[in-house]
Amino acid sequence: MNGEMPTTPHTIQVFRIFERIWHWSQAASIFILVFTGLAIHGTHNLIDFSTAVTVHTSVAIALLLLWAFATFWLFTTGQWRHYIPTTKNMLKVAHYYAFGVFKGEHHPFHKTYRNKHNPLQALTYLLLKTIIFPGIWISGIAYMLVSFGMGNVISFIPLGFIAFVHTVSAIAIIIFVILHLYILTIGGFKHHLMPMITGYDEVELTVEEWAYLEADESSKLAED
């Protein structure tokens, strides 16, 4: 809930079109990078090494540009506020995902106008954006410098360490994707999927928030 003020559920636009394009482009890119990365490591031979390296590098550069633009968008639109975690109800949310869901308990978090991610989601996304993603960006760029013959620029960093950081970061992203898919199955896959397709979801709004949206941002309200 939003403080002590009473709220009621309303369907509004929660995810803007850029967020949806960003989400699906990022998802597709991650799957391509994992597939080609495993080929580069020799885990499978469904694609030849040279092609895997070319595709991996191209998609990685495109995704890096997307992440850079998304970071700019988050700060210029104020959407970064949704990614600041809070300790309030975090343990309850963690308990729900680990145990409560198997006992038929209700989710302890309800989306609000100011908080569309539950505390555990916000913390996870913050760790991704500040630690894991930068780790894979920096190590990936270092790899590209070496492959482009500019390894002398980072000669003070052992190549084995760069490979370690890149691999660990990639594994962390794979674990995130698996957990993300697991959470989508809780409460109905379609229920969680549709908001990222249509942009609309049910959130808790105070009377003041509803009045503000009606007056100044009516395009965010779902049509009856």
> What are the residues whose beta carbons fall under 8 Å from the beta carbon of 142, sequence distance 6 or more?
154, 157, 162
Instruction: Name the residue ranges covered by the structural domains of the chain.
Output: 1-16+89-224, 17-77
Q: Long-range contact list for 171-174, CB < 8 A, 24+ apart?
A: 172/132, 173/30, 173/34, 173/128, 173/132, 173/136, 174/34
Q: What is the pLDDT of residue 1?
A: 42
The per-residue pLDDT for range 159-177, each reduced to its tens digit, is 889 989 999 999 999 999 9
**Does 101 score more than 50 pLDDT?**
yes
* Residues 63, 71: Cα–Cα separation, whole Å: 12
Mean local confidence (pLDDT), 119-127: 88
Q: Long-range contact list for 186-192, CB < 8 A, 24+ apart?
A: 186/97, 186/101, 187/107
Can you give the pTM of this predicted structure?
Answer: 0.82
pLDDT band at 86 (very low <50, low <70, confident <90, very high): confident
CA angle in degrees (0–180, nearest 5) for 63-64-68 = 115
Which one-letter amino acid corresponds to residue 118? Answer: N
* Residues 95, 81: Cα–Cα separation, whole Å: 24
DSSP labels, 144-190: HHHHTT-GGGGTTS-HHHHHHHHHHHHHHHHHHHHHHHHHHTTT-HH
Work out the burial of residue 85: count CB atoms within 10 Å of its CB; fewer than 13 is exposed, 13-18 middle, 19 or more buried: middle
Whether 74 and 80 have beta carbons less than 8 Å apart is answered as yes
Q: Please state whether 105 falls in left (phi above 0), alpha (psi between -120 and 50) or beta.
A: beta
Mean local confidence (pLDDT), 17-23: 93
